[in-house]
Amino acid sequence: MLRFIVPLLLIIVPWVLMSTMWVAAIMPSIIFDVILIALSIRIVGPKTVRTVEFLGKYNRILRPGFHFIVPFVEWTKAQDLYRKNFPVEVEWVTSDNVTAYIWLNVIYYVDDNWDDTEVWPVFKSVYSIDNPRTMMKSTIDEQLRWMIVMFTHKEIFGKREEIWEVIEEKLREKLWQFGFRIDSIQVRDVQLEWTVMQAMNKVVESAKLKEAAYNEAEAQKIMQVKQAEAEKESKVLIWEWMAGQRMAIAKWFQESVEMIKWADQSLTWDKILAFLLDSSRIETLWNIGSKDGSKLVYLNENLEWKSSKLLAGSDIM
């Protein structure tokens, strides 16, 4: 009902003045309307509401748009509905006496459900708490310090999700009592004292160097094994080739001896073998001497003394 008083006054007062003073009342009527409009108009922007108090008592809520209030007897208080960021830093000591620093970011807002009664969010957010950030900071401090002291400095880095779950549950319950809701909570960072972090980095660095040295040694070991296996395989192939060559030579000698023996039955096996060796030696010497710039020194390795005379193996035949 009060919201209609000002529009009625804007009509009734000028009408009364005009009915009594006629033309002389025009200017006072205009001045009265301008002052009344200036004092009574309230324009509420997007994502904002205003609570109206009549003579100090809560009366209603003004939502985005154009509104009138009764000057001097009604006053308004604004409340934002958009989401707000609240960064929080907590410092406490772990179970092994290392100072830990945890940075969180809380995104919260007032949930307007279009209910103007005194038990719903907008009313509670305006009249139930003066500074919600102070309440959030104390709640987060209490919960985080209780949690940090339960972990060692090495365990704290793996507890991000657990920290988030505990803080969100406790803070959501607490904020709802004052008309606020949590959109999300992010654990932005977890750090330890600078000296501890430096020592941990050195430990990690030394472990990486040790791992790199081990990998390098393993690589060298594998290379050596592979080289040994390759050398073994190459020697086996050489031995197989030499064995094959010797078998081929032996077969050739056997066939040659049998052929000569078949041509002349009077020849003994020793003479046939000596003949073949001399033939092979002569062929080798010819191959060497046929090359340009080569020098040949002939040494008979089968020399022996007989009757004070030096004889070659071929002379014995």
Q: Could you read off the pLDDT tens digit of each residue along the chain, which spans 317 residues?
A: 555 666 666 666 666 666 666 656 666 667 766 777 777 888 898 889 999 998 888 888 899 998 888 888 888 999 999 999 999 988 888 888 888 888 899 999 998 877 777 768 888 888 888 888 988 998 888 888 888 888 887 788 787 888 888 888 888 888 888 889 988 888 888 887 766 666 665 666 667 667 777 778 888 888 888 887 787 787 777 777 777 776 877 777 677 777 766 766 666 666 666 776 777 777 676 666 666 666 656 555 554 444 444 444 444 44
Helix/strand/coil (H/E/C) assignment for every residue in the chain: CHHHHHHHHHHHHHHHHHHHHHHHHHHHHHHHHHHHHHHHEEEECCCEEEEEEECCEEEEEECCEEEECCCCCEEEEEEECCCEEEEEEEEEECCCCCEEEEEEEEEEEECCCCCCCCCCHHHHHHHCCCCHHHHHHHHHHHHHHHHHCCCCCCCHHHCHHHHHHHHHHHHHHHHHCCCEEEEEEEEEEEEECHHHHHHHHHHHHHHHHHHHHHHHHHHHHHHHHHHHHHHHHHHHHHHHHHHHHHHHHHHHHHHHHHHHHHHCCCCCHHHHHHHHHHHHHHHHHHHHHCCCCCCCCCCCCCCEEECCEEECHHHHC
